[in-house]
Structure 1
Amino acid sequence: MATIIHFDIPADDPERAKGFYEALFGWKIGPIAGFPGYYEIGTSDLNGEKGIGGGITKGEQPRQTGITNFVGVASINESMEKVSKLGGKIIRGREAVPGYGSMALCADTENNVFGLFQEDK
C-alpha cells in the first residue's frame, strides 16, 4: 500500500527554518550533497526509532505554501494517469532526483498539493 515517505517544507529563509525545527523537535537537519540550498531532515518517533525523512528548501515563486507530503508509488507514470482520471491535476510532471528516483507534484480534487515518488531500484 502506498504511504507517505517524505515531506518538504518551503522556507523564505531555510537557515532560519532549520534552526526552528531543530530547536522545536530535535530533528537532525543538514545539507545534502548534490542539492545546494536543500537541507535533509532526519526524524524519529517517540521511541527513538527512525521516522520518515524530509527536507527544507527555498520556497518557489509564486510562494509555495504548506508542507508537501510525498507518497511512495511503484510507478509514477501509472499514478499520474490515475490522478488525472480521478479528477486531480498534474502540477509538475515526472522529474529525476539524481541518485534517488523520480518525483511529480499533483493536486487532489480539493486542490491539496502532494507529491509522488518512485524510488530507483
Structure 2
Amino acid sequence: MTTATVPMCAVVHFEMPYKDCERAARFYAAAFGWTHQFLGPDMGNYLLVNTAPAGARPPMPPEAALGSINGGLFPFHADWPMQHPSVVIGVPDVRAAMQRVRDAGGDVMGEPMAIPGVGEYVVFRDTEGNHNSMMQPDMQPPACKT
C-alpha cells in the first residue's frame, strides 16, 4: 500500500491517566493555566481539559474542521530515560514553566535541551506519574498566550 492510498488521520485529542483527579486538575491549572471540567460518575469520572483559549488556533481548512495537532516519533533506546508516549506543551518561557511544574508538585527531568531551529525542550513528570514535555519554541506558539 502506498501513502497516497492511506488517508491522513489527524490527532484530535490526548488522554493521560490520573490517580488523584483533584491533584491532577490543580497541577495542570497551576503549571500551565489549563481549565478543566469534571464530568462525574455518569461519564466515567472523566476530566476534560482545555489547553488554549477559544480562537487561539489558526483557522483550519474544511476537511480539518475538528482541528488537529502534529506529532513525531523517536527511536526507542532501552538505556535512555523517559521512553514513554507524551504530550509536548508549548510554553513562552521554559525556565519559568519548569518552576511552575515544580511548584505544582511535578518533577522536571534535567535541563532544557536546545533543538536548533525549533526551541528549548525539557521532560517533566506530573503529579500522576505521567511523563510529558515542554517546548519553548523559537517563536511563541499561538496557543500559548501570556
TM-score, L = length of structure 2: 0.49
Q: Deviations over 1:34-64 (max 9, x none)?
A: xxxxxxxxx476x522621111111232472
**Identity %, equivalent residues:** 24
Aligned equivalent of 2:109, options 86, 91, 112: 91
Question: In structure 2, what is the equivalent of residue 102 of structure 1?
Answer: 120
Partner of residue 74, structure 2: 57
Letter in 1 for 2:86: T
How far did residue 96 of structure 1 move?
Answer: 0.8
> Partners of 1:27 and 1:106 in 2: how far apart?
30
Per the normalisation by structure 1, the TM-score is 0.58
Aligned to 2:8: 27
User: In structure 2, how many angstroms separate the alpha carbons of the residues matched to 1:90 and 1:27?
Assistant: 34
Q: Which residue of 1 aligns with 2:63?
A: 48
SS of match in other structure, 2:73: strand
Tell me which amino acid in the other structure corresponds to 2:74: T
Work out the CA distance in 2 between the residues paired with 1:86 and 1:108.
9
Secondary structure, in 3 states, of the residue corresponding to 1:53?
coil
Distance in 2, Cα, partners of 1:98 & 1:106: 21
Q: What is the distance in 1 between the residues matched to 2:136 and 2:124?
A: 14
Match of 1:5 in 2: none
Which structure: greater strand fraction? 1
Q: Counterpart of 1:58 in structure 2: which amino acid?
A: P
Q: CA offset at residue 73 of structure 1?
A: 0.7
Q: Which runs of 5+ in 2 are unaligned?
A: 13-61, 140-146
Moved over 6 A (4+): none
